[in-house]
Structure formats: structure tokens, C-alpha cells
Structure 1
Amino acid sequence: MQLDMHGLTHADAPTLVLSSGLGGVAGFWQPQLAALTPHYRVVTYDQRGTGRSADTLPEGYSMAMMARELADALARHGITRYDIVGHALGGLIGLQLALDYPQQVGRVVVINGWLALSDHTARCFRVRQDLLMHVGVEAFVRAQPLFLYPAEWLAQHQTRITAEDAHHVTHFQGMENLLRRLHALKSADFRPHAARITQPVLALCSQDDLLVPWSCSAQLAQALPNGSLIEMAWGGHAMSVTDSDNFNALLLQWLAETAKPARQAS
């Protein structure tokens, strides 16, 4: 797994690891880099089986395996203390890291994530999976923006979306890989383990998310010993892209407010 380092370079720089959602690629975080890199050593990466981390995922692929792969890759670079910011699947990887590597993880930000999969999100995933398996990759890719972005934003960015569609089709991670990653995502259930996640955790959500109801983030924050909730009124599932200025400001504010407790815990 290849890690990309951005921003601060000194050895004791605070490290912020950005973990993408089901798409898995580092490029998702481009709208955040200019805001975060003056303050942090920012780590982005292509998850195993996606982008530059091409691989065939094994049967039984799990959230614990995703967390271990990331922790091992960070350790190989000498990074043993870090905060995690994750979008959907990436946020669940952050929660799993907090459980499995509590000495390494300081804080976790879960963007449009959940404690356990909701029936609504499961329905959305079934629709997407049916498109992939019974219609094909192009139909799956064309439908994806509908779950990510608000309608008005999509209407104003059709040229961009068309170009992204072509890119995603060309660089598709493969049906088998995607289905195994999706199964791991749907199977994750943190309800039995929530009390053990004692790090500060921010559940950051958008109220107009079509894929994940904002109430899932509220439930997550309430279940965690040190959970907190921030709601954005607009932006869809990928509000870090559609309303990046507001998103970046809220993220930086929370990180600043919780920096002192994170240092004391290290």
C-alpha cells in the first residue's frame, strides 16, 4: 500500500490520516489538502484493491483487515501516533483502528458514517449492487453521483461529472474487489464495541445525504463515550467536495478544540 505525505515534514508533526469511502482512492481528499497541510502532516492512500494499490482481495475480507493494512503501512513509515479522518467506509476503518490500535489512534472523525448499517443504506447498496451485477460497470458508475451529490450541484457540474464517470470506468477497481469491500462495509457493527472506543470521535454529517440518514451520525455520537456531532445543512453524502470550504472550517475547528486532550492522552 502506497502512502502519500503532504504538508508538515518535521518528525514530531501532528499526523492526520485521511481514509476514503467505497471508492477507496486518495484523490477524494484533494479539496481538503490546502486547508489541512499548513497544520498537519497529512497522509492519504489508495486502499488495497483500488487505484495504485492494485490487488485481488481475499474471501472474507473484513474491516479488521482494512484497519490492519493501514496500521502496518503507517508503521513502516515510522508513524505510530495519528488521528483519522474517514468518509463513510473510511470512517469505519477509523473506528476499527481505535478499537484494535488504541495506543496509536488519538482522535477519529467519521463523515456520514454509522454505528450499524441502516435499512435505508442497505437498500441503496442493493440498488447499486444490482446495477453492477446485472447491468454493468458503466451503469454502476453513472448512478454513483446520484448517491453522492445534491441534485442542484450535479446539474451545475455535468461536464465535471461526465469526465469523472469516464475516469472511474477506466480505473474501476473490479467487480470482485468492490463486492468484497462492500460486504465488509455492510457487515461492520460497532454496537457491541462502542463503549471501548474512548478516543474523541466526531460524527460529521450532512442533513441532505441520500445514502446515509443523518440520524445515523447522531446515533453514533450518542453511543460513544467521547462522541460529538456536527451537522451540515447541505452538501449530500460527499459534502467535503460540494461544500468544501464549510466542511474544512468545521473540521479544523473541531481538531483545534480537541487538540489538548489528544496530546494529554498520548
Structure 2
Amino acid sequence: MHLDITGCDNDNAPVLVLAAGLGGLGSFWLPQLNALRERYRVVSYDQRGTGRNADPLPEGYSLREMAAELAASLQRAGIERFDVIGHALGGLIGLQLALDYSAHVNRLVVVNGWLTLDAHTRRCFRVRQDLLLNVGVEAWVRAQPLFLYPADWLSAQQARVEAEEALQCAHFQGMENLLRRLQALMNADFRATAAAITQPVLALCSRDDLLVPWTCSQQLCEALPHATLQVMNWGGHAMSVTDSQTFNQLLLAWLDATPDVAAPLTEMLPDTLRV
């Protein structure tokens, strides 16, 4: 898996790993890069099955595999300790990393994530899946902004949205890959394991998120031992794009105020993941 590493040249600088949502592309985080890379080493990547890592995914592909692939790639890059900032699916990958590789994960930021899939979110995914299967890729892509962005932002950004749609159609990750990644996301459930995630966690959400109710972040926060909830009033599911200034301020403030309390690095990656 290819990683993009940028930011502070100091080898001792904290490492932030940015994990995108279902789209899977590292470019999702462009509105955050300038704000983060002055003080941090920033890692972004295209998830397996997407972008530059467009391998065919196996049947039964799981969230645990997503976390293991990222952990192995970070180790190959010489990165042993890191924070994870994940949006939706990316946040769930971060939670899984905190469980499976706890000594390597310092802190977590879960953006518009959840403890277990909400009934409303499941309905939204089923509608989108029906569009993909019964109408086609273009219908999936055209519908996506409705779930990501507030209506007023969409109305003011039509040219940008249309350009993004054309790009997404041209570089679509493939129906099988998307459906397998979507199923892995929908199967994720941390209700039985959340109490074992001892790292500091910021659950950051938007009150007007159409896809994932903000109360999902509240429920996640309540289930984690050391979690903080921050709720933005506006911005939709992709508020890191629509209101990046507020998002970046909240993110940096939490990182500045939250100490690194990582456990001693005594756990090693499984032999099967070593270089």
C-alpha cells in the first residue's frame, strides 16, 4: 500500500495518520494538510481497492483486514507510533487499530463515526446500494453529494460538485470493491469492545449530518473510557470540507490539549505482517 508522508521534517514529530471514509482516497484530507503539516508528520493514503491501491478485494473483506493492511504499511515506513484521524469508515479503521495494535496508537479522532450502525444510516446505505445495482455508477455518484453536504453549500457549489462527479465517475473504484467495502463498514460493531479502547478519543460530528445522526457520536463517546465529544452546528457529513476552518480549529485545539498517553511499545505486529 502506497503512503503519502508530508509535513514536519523532524523525525521526532508526532505522526498523524489520516483515513478517509467510503470513498477511500487520501485526497479527501486536502483541506486539512496545510493546517497539520507545520507541526506534524502527516500520512495519507488511498485505501485498498481505491485510487492508487486499486487491487480487487476478496469476498468477505473486513474492517480488521483494513486495519491490518494499514498497520503493516506504517511499519514498513518505519512508523511505530501514530495518531489516527478518521472520517466515518476511516474512524472505524482507527478504532479497530486501537484494539488490535493498541501499543502503536496514541490518540484517535473519529469524525462522524459510530458504535454500531444506526437504522437511519443503514437505510441511507441501502438506498445508495439500490441506485448502484439497479441504475448504475452515475446514479450512485450523483446521489453521493446529497448525503455528504448541506443543501445551501451544494446550491452555492454546483460547478465544483459537477467537476467532482465527473472525476469520481472516471476513477470509480469498481462495483465489487465498493460493495465489499460497504459491507465491511455496515458489519462493524464496537459495542462489545469499546471499553477496551483506552486511548484518548475525540468524537467530532456535525449536527446537520444527513447520513450519520450526530447522536451516534454521542453514543460512541459514552461507550469509550476516555472520549470527548465536539459537535459542529453546520457542515454536513463532510464538514471537514464544507467548514474546514472550524473543523481544523477544533481538531488542533484537541490535539494541543490532549496529552500523548500511549502505553510502552511492548506489543509487536504479528509475524505475518512484518516486513
- Give the TM-score category using the shorter length: over 0.9
Match status 1:63 vs 2:63: yes
Is the 8 Å Cα contact of residues 118 and 216 (structure 1) preserved in structure 2?
yes
**Matched residue SS, 1:192:** coil
Residue 74 in structure 1 maps to residue 84 in structure 2? no
Work out the CA distance in 2 between the residues paired with 1:265 and 1:177.
37
- 1-side partners of 2:164 and 2:88: how far apart? 20
Alignment of 1:1-266 (within 5 A): 1-258=1-258, 260-262=259-261
Find the residue that maps to 1:78 and give its secondary structure: coil
Deviation track 1:43-102 (CA, whole Å, cap 9, x = no partner) reads: 000000000001000011000000000000000000010000000000000000000000
* Identity across matched positions, percent: 66
Moved more, 134-143 or 4-13: 4-13
- Provide closer, same or farther for how the CA distance between residues 263 and 97 of structure 1 changes in structure 2, counting only shifts above 3 A: closer
TM-score, with structure 2 as normaliser: 0.95
Structure 2: distance between partners of 1:31 and 1:264 = 31
Q: Is the 8 A contact 1:106 1:265 kept in 2?
A: no
Which amino acid in structure 2 is aligned with residue 30 of structure 1?
L
Structure 1 pair 261–15 and aligned structure 2 pair: CA distance change class (3 A): closer
- Give ranges in structure 2 of 5+ residues lacking alignment: 266-275
**1:31–1:240 contact (8 Å) kept in structure 2:** yes
CA distance in structure 2 between the partners assigned to 1:41 and 1:265 by the alignment = 21
What is the root-mean-square deviation of aligned Cα atoms in Å? 1.0
Partners of 1:253 and 1:73 in 2: how far apart?
29
- Per-residue CA deviation, residues 225-261 of structure 1 (Å, 9 max, x unaligned), is 0011000000000000000000000000000111x34
8 Å CA contact 2:103, 2:263 repeated in 1: no
Q: Deviations over 1:96-130 (max 9, x none)?
A: 00000000000010000000000000000000000
User: Structure 2: how far apart are the matches of 1:85 and 1:55?
Assistant: 24
- Give the deviation of 1:263 after TM superposition: 6.1
Please give the TM-score of this superposition, normalised by the length of structure 1.
Answer: 0.98
Letter in 2 for 1:72: A
Distance 2:24 2:216 in 1: 21
Q: CA deviation at 1:264?
A: 7.6
In terms of fraction of residues, the more helix-rich structure is 1
Give, in whole Å, the separation in 2 of the partners of 1:243 and 1:204.
Answer: 13
**Inter-partner Cα distance in structure 1 for 2:263 and 2:217:** 26
State the aligned residue count. Answer: 265
Partners of 1:163 and 1:174 in 2: CA distance: 19
Structure 1 residues 51 and 257: CA distance shift in structure 2, 3 A: same
- Matches of 2:219 and 2:264 in 1, distance apart? 25
- Report the secondary structure of 1:191's partner residue: coil
User: Which SS does the other structure have where 2:13 is aligned?
Assistant: coil
1:265 deviation in Å? 6.5
Distance 1:211 1:90 in 2: 15
CA distance in 1, matches of 2:33, 2:126: 33
Matched to 2:220, the amino acid is L
The gaps in structure 1 that reach 5 residues or longer are none
